Structure 1
Amino acid sequence: MKSEKYSTLFLFALLLAVSSQPITAQRRGGGQRPGGGINRQPMHGGATERTRPNINNNNINNRDIDRNRNINNASRNSNNTNISGNTVNVNVDRSHDVNVVNNRNTVVQRNNIATYRRPPYVYGGARYYCYHPYVYHPYRPYYWGPAWHPWGFFVAALTVTAIVVTIENEKYHYDQGVWYAQSGGGYTVVQAPVGGTVTTIPSNSQTTVVNNVTNYYYGGAYYQKDGTTYKVVPPPAGAVVENLPEGGEEVKVGDQTYVKIGETYYQPVQVDGKNKYEVVQVESEKS
């Protein structure tokens, strides 16, 4: 009995010794614990360092790429947006633009050169005739009032006082000294067409007499009375007017500066101490 008892105890002790060997080796070997725990790496002096478990860097890289894409997109959008306020691009409706012919009444009515007592100003192969001496003053376009509009001005509709005037199969509309041509769903102001005849002109028109003929001037247009009507005529050479409309430009001819409207040259002059303009007669030196 005693021998069996001792044999059982011996086997139990042997099993206990064998089973304890791998646990001790695992603890002493510093191997990684199952379950993804924190590793302890050896350091100088026998200490250990805690290290984080391995993490999949693909997710971090993807997030960085997405963030960079968003930043780049935002940068592009901000570059395409004009926030400076200095230049603004807008869609301009050009449907009402028309080519306004400003030379219908700018072919000057010529005078007999013998009537000019002053020698002409000669420059660039042309002679510029005027009755009055040249006195420069700057060109300032004149405004004739709320019923008047400059050439090229567009209106969507006309007032009930407008009348239709047909000249050489072309239809115009006339209203209070202003001439219109239909265009772009509305009406555009044009120069008074030569030959156009109306029964009334604005009461504040100016009179200018050339060769004993009285001309009525308003808004850049010249009229001569024919019975009970007024007929548009070209600018008569030698006519002196106080004001010029918009649409002119100062042009340098040698030492003198003229105001050119269409093909008509106006010389700045002084009459009775007032700044005025005289219609110039331009002749080629070859003529």
Structure 2
Amino acid sequence: MKSINKTLKKAALLCIAGSFFLISIDGLAQRRVGGNGGTKRAGGAVKTRPATQRPATQTRPGSNNSGVRKSTNTTTRPANTSNTNAGNRNTTTNRNSATRNNINNSGNRNTNISGNTVNRNNVNINVNNSVHVRNNRNTVVRPGPRPYVRPPYVYGGYRYHAYNPYFFHPYRPFYWGPVWHPWGFFVATLAVTAIVVSVESAQYHYDQGVWYTSTSGGYTAVPAPVGGTVNNIPSGAQTVNTGTVNNYYYGGTYYEKDGSTYKVVAPTAGTLVDNLPEGGEEVTIGDVKYVKFGETYYQPVQVDGKDKYEVVQVEEDK
């Protein structure tokens, strides 16, 4: 009996000791769990509280979003920012490229359109003026055959005589055909029909109503030199009456029959022509608009209901 009682006492003591031991371990575990932010042990696994209690991105009140915390998902935001910046860069580049293209195209348009039109006019005018400086043979107007019954138009110290009243109509150059060229026109070569004509030690080339001088790399059309003689003139030459003799008029040049040849002569004041060639300059003198070739002035007039041009005699007003 004594041995049995001893055994029971030992078992009771072991149970009490075990209970205290378990209580101590459980308390320690609870303290550890509380210090780790609310995790619980269940079968040796650790459970995590839902992350919804702390939003990934929070914004504090402030201007310009200065209080924005960086999101844990850093991949998405930098990607969006990069795309936006790239888009801005592309847009800017495209705009700049478009601007450059527009400037270039504008330059090309401005070069193509003004090149073909303005340059041609400038060449005609500029070369005409320089031709006049080099060759003034066709600038003297022969006086009219009879006295003027109309008073001259006086302006700027000069008197402008004409037999017919001034009647303005626009200057429209006449097309004399594909082989005719205005003053200043340049050609690299001449046709085999061209001939050489010498006038007072100067050499000219004549071909189908057009007179040329040799220039660097080719030939340039010039006013016909007074005194130049040729055997033939174009069939399209117009017969005009100067009041004394008939002249043959073609492309702004006047010829007189001299035996079997034709000689270039200066225009006679009062001569009427139907058309003027390309290369003239419309100038305004006071209230009158003349068409000027070299130093020869043509006044727009109307005769028998038809527009014409009359060669004007210009004199200094003394």
- What TM-score, normalized by structure 2, do the two folds share? 0.66
2:35 is aligned with 1:25: yes
Cα offset, 1:64, TM superposition? 3.3
Cα offset, 1:106, TM superposition? 4.2
The structure 2 residue matched to 1:178, chosen from 203, 210, 219, is 210
Structure whose residues are more often strand by fraction: 1
Residues 58, 195 of structure 1: CA spacing in aligned structure 2 closer, same or farther, 3 A cutoff? farther
Residues 70, 260 of structure 1: CA spacing in aligned structure 2 closer, same or farther, 3 A cutoff? same
Cα offset, 1:108, TM superposition? 2.5
The structure 1 residue matched to 2:128, chosen from 88, 101, 104, is 101
Cα offset, 1:135, TM superposition? 4.8
Which residue identity is paired with 1:118?
V
Cα distance between partner residues in 2 of 1:122 and 1:137: 15
Whether contact under 8 Å (2:280, 2:293) holds in the other structure is yes
Whether contact under 8 Å (2:188, 2:218) holds in the other structure is yes
Q: Which residue of 2 aligns with 1:123?
A: 154
The structure 2 residue matched to 1:134, chosen from 165, 168, 191, is 165
The structure 2 residue matched to 1:55, chosen from 59, 74, 80, is 74
Cα distance between partner residues in 1 of 2:128 and 2:262: 22
Cα distance between partner residues in 2 of 1:141 and 1:97: 16
Cα distance between partner residues in 1 of 2:50 and 2:198: 102
Whether contact under 8 Å (2:159, 2:316) holds in the other structure is yes
Cα offset, 1:177, TM superposition? 0.8
Whether contact under 8 Å (1:199, 1:230) holds in the other structure is yes
Q: Which residue of 2 aligns with 1:89?
A: 110
2:247 is aligned with 1:215: yes
Whether contact under 8 Å (1:250, 1:258) holds in the other structure is yes
User: 1:130-154, CA deviations, whole angstroms, 9 ceiling, x for partnerless residues?
Assistant: 3x32151513322222322333444
Cα offset, 1:253, TM superposition? 4.1
Q: Helix, strand or coil for the counterpart of 1:82?
A: helix
Cα distance between partner residues in 2 of 1:169 and 1:22: 127
Q: Which residue of 1 aligns with 2:95?
A: 75
Which residue identity is paired with 2:38?
R
2:231 is aligned with 1:199: yes
Greater shift in the superposed pair: 91-100 or 249-258: 91-100
Q: Which residue of 1 aligns with 2:271?
A: 239
Whether contact under 8 Å (2:174, 2:278) holds in the other structure is yes
Which residue identity is paired with 1:18?
L
Residues 112, 182 of structure 1: CA spacing in aligned structure 2 closer, same or farther, 3 A cutoff? closer
Which residue identity is paired with 1:89?
N
2:178 is aligned with 1:146: yes
Cα offset, 1:156, TM superposition? 4.8
Greater shift in the superposed pair: 174-183 or 16-25: 16-25
Q: Which residue of 2 aligns with 1:34?
A: none
Cα distance between partner residues in 1 of 2:175 and 2:189: 21
Greater shift in the superposed pair: 178-187 or 85-94: 85-94
Gap regions ≥5 residues in structure 2: 1-9, 40-48, 58-70
Cα distance between partner residues in 2 of 1:177 and 1:185: 22
Cα offset, 1:178, TM superposition? 1.8
Q: Helix, strand or coil for the counterpart of 2:140?
A: coil
Gap regions ≥5 residues in structure 1: 30-36, 43-48
The structure 1 residue matched to 2:221, chosen from 167, 170, 189, is 189
Residues 23, 231 of structure 1: CA spacing in aligned structure 2 closer, same or farther, 3 A cutoff? farther
User: 1:223-282, CA deviations, whole angstroms, 9 ceiling, x for partnerless residues?
Assistant: 234444333232222322222112334444455443322221123345566443221111
- What TM-score, normalized by structure 1, do the two folds share? 0.72
Residues 18, 176 of structure 1: CA spacing in aligned structure 2 closer, same or farther, 3 A cutoff? same
> Looking at CA atoms only, which structure, 1 or 2, has the larger radius of gyration?
2
Q: Helix, strand or coil for the counterpart of 2:98?
A: helix
Cα distance between partner residues in 2 of 1:55 and 1:117: 102
Cα distance between partner residues in 2 of 1:97 and 1:247: 10
Cα distance between partner residues in 2 of 1:170 and 1:269: 37
Whether contact under 8 Å (2:138, 2:226) holds in the other structure is no
